[in-house]
Amino acid sequence: MTTRTPSLAEEFTAIAKLSATCVHCGFCLAACPTYAVTAMENDSPRGRIWLLAEAARTNKVTDVLRLHIDRCIGCEACVPACPSGVRYDELIDRARRVVNVGRSQRELLGRSLVVRSFSKAQRFAGLAPSAQVLARGVVRASFLRPGLAHLPRVQALVQQAATIRAASPVTTFTSLVPNERARVVMLTGCIASVLFSEVNAATVKVLNAEGISVVVPRGQGCCGALASHAGQHDLAQHEARTLMETFDLTHIDAVITNSAGCGAMMKDYGELLEHQEGSDAFAEKVVDVMEFLDRFTSIAHYRPLSSKILYHEPCHLAFAQGVRSAGPSVLSRIPELELALTEGPNCCGAGGLYSVSQPALARQVGEAKRDAILRTQVELLVSGNPGCAIQLNSLLGDRVEVLHPIVLLAQALEA
């Protein structure tokens, strides 16, 4: 199964068609987290669409276009906010590929190094006893290009990794339950499997308690989301095909993810792989773990937790996947739990590798979310995306504990 990378002319043709659906009404402005911080038209979806339409008309990639596309988080909050149905999600994917044209070799090398360091994290796990060691390994590898360690994205990678405790990744196994209600395969993720292995363990524990058998295939790699965010179309397609080949879906009811970013990418495999054989069928089976659990009446026993917690909606779950109510619905299975939604802006500024490639702007976006969280004076927040967890940990420090909702469910399970 092979695909052909679109030429620049083909990308511009598609961009011109997609951008023509925008009527420049401005409904997207209130939804855009970067526009909220900079108040610059070019940092809004409407402004970026205008720049893309101009690039398609002139057949030219400018530094101005590259700057403002790079500054887009890709949260997709503007998609449901648009009354005209503009496919900004597809536009930004194409734009990320287009703006790599003319980018300096130093910049391309730096972006590629970060993407591959994250996506190959499982291979490094046996050599890196902690996230800090893993991140510093990226810096040590900078001898490949003098001065690479001073790039802001590498420095941000080290700073963020220092806020996370690494653990041994979940390895290949099958956990079957008697009288199973369903059988699923689970994505363990790349960097998530190293930095958040407790999330994978909790996912298996809760699914089993709810009568669902879990298969964890051998040799999993990255889903392709990180490469796609960096505009590396060929690599994203390769990683998607490789992952699909790893999963045997015979007698499988769903492909489970516990990462909002990965789920959004995998649900889009049909478009990414140009609807080649098997890609649409695979994408249709992809389900976020909370979304899947919400399909079943609970049979597990959860002990009461008399505490108030905040629920943070990851953008790639709420907007890219359209999953809004499943998380709070499933968490309501825990008796006496008081759950509140975070107020203020939705986006925390994570956006896949955004907080690494645009650390200053990502932090500005995240500070508004941080302040809204701290005003509630709660001590625990749950978020269903590893990128958001890293960003929120960095913003909140030890003032608020950040957990994946599936970890909270696992903690509440009665023995």
* CATH number where 200 lies: 3.40.50
CA distances from 8 to 88, 170, 190, 245 (A): 18, 41, 30, 30
Tell me: do 289 and 179 sit in the same domain: yes
| CA–CA separation, 35 and 49 (whole Å) | 14
Residue 267 placed within a domain = yes
Residue 166 placed within a domain = no
Instruction: Out of 277-286, 338-347, 379-388, pick the least confident.
Output: 338-347
The residue ranges of DSSP E strands in 206-349, in sequence order, are 212-216, 254-257, 286-288, 308-312, 338-341
Residue 112's pLDDT band (boundaries 50, 70, 90)? confident
| CA–CA separation, 233 and 268 (whole Å) | 13
Angle at 149 between CA 144 and CA 152, to 5 degrees: 135
Which helix (H) or strand (E) element contains residue 63?
Answer: helix 63-70
pLDDT digits (tens, 9 = 90+) for 7-22: 899 999 999 999 999 9
pLDDT digits (tens, 9 = 90+) for 76-95: 999 999 999 999 999 999 99
CB distance 323 to 266 below 8 Å: no
pLDDT digits (tens, 9 = 90+) for 34-43: 999 999 999 9
Which of 161, 183, 203 terminates a domain? The answer is 161
Tell me: do 187 and 285 sit in the same domain: yes
Residue 228 placed within a domain = yes
Percentage of residues in the chain having pLDDT higher than 70: 86
pLDDT digits (tens, 9 = 90+) for 349-378: 998 889 888 999 999 999 999 999 999 999
Which helix (H) or strand (E) element contains residue 229?
Answer: helix 225-229
DSSP-based three-state secondary structure for 302: strand
Residue 35 placed within a domain = yes
Whether residue 302 is predicted with pLDDT greater than 50 in this model: the reply is: yes
Residue 284 placed within a domain = yes
Residue 334 placed within a domain = yes
Which of 293, 322, 341 terminates a domain? The answer is 293
Helix residue ranges per DSSP H, 120-259: 121-125, 131-140, 152-161, 191-195, 197-209, 225-229, 233-246
DSSP-based three-state secondary structure for 309: strand
What count of other Cβ atoms lies within 10 Å of the Cβ of residue 123? 11
Residue 32 placed within a domain = yes
Tell me: do 201 and 270 sit in the same domain: yes
Tell me: do 217 and 279 sit in the same domain: yes
What count of other Cβ atoms lies within 10 Å of the Cβ of residue 339? 17
pLDDT of residue 166: 46
Q: Which residues pair with 65 in a beta bridge?
A: none
φ, ψ at 301 (rounded to 5°)? -115, 120
pLDDT of residue 114: 80
Number of domains in the chain: 4
Tell me: do 285 and 182 sit in the same domain: yes
Tell me: do 279 and 326 sit in the same domain: no
Residue 2 placed within a domain = no
CA distances from 391 to 32, 161, 259 (A): 18, 10, 14
Domain that holds residue 50: 8-98
Tell me: do 149 and 257 sit in the same domain: no
Instruction: Out of 143-152, 177-186, 390-399, pick the least confident.
Output: 143-152
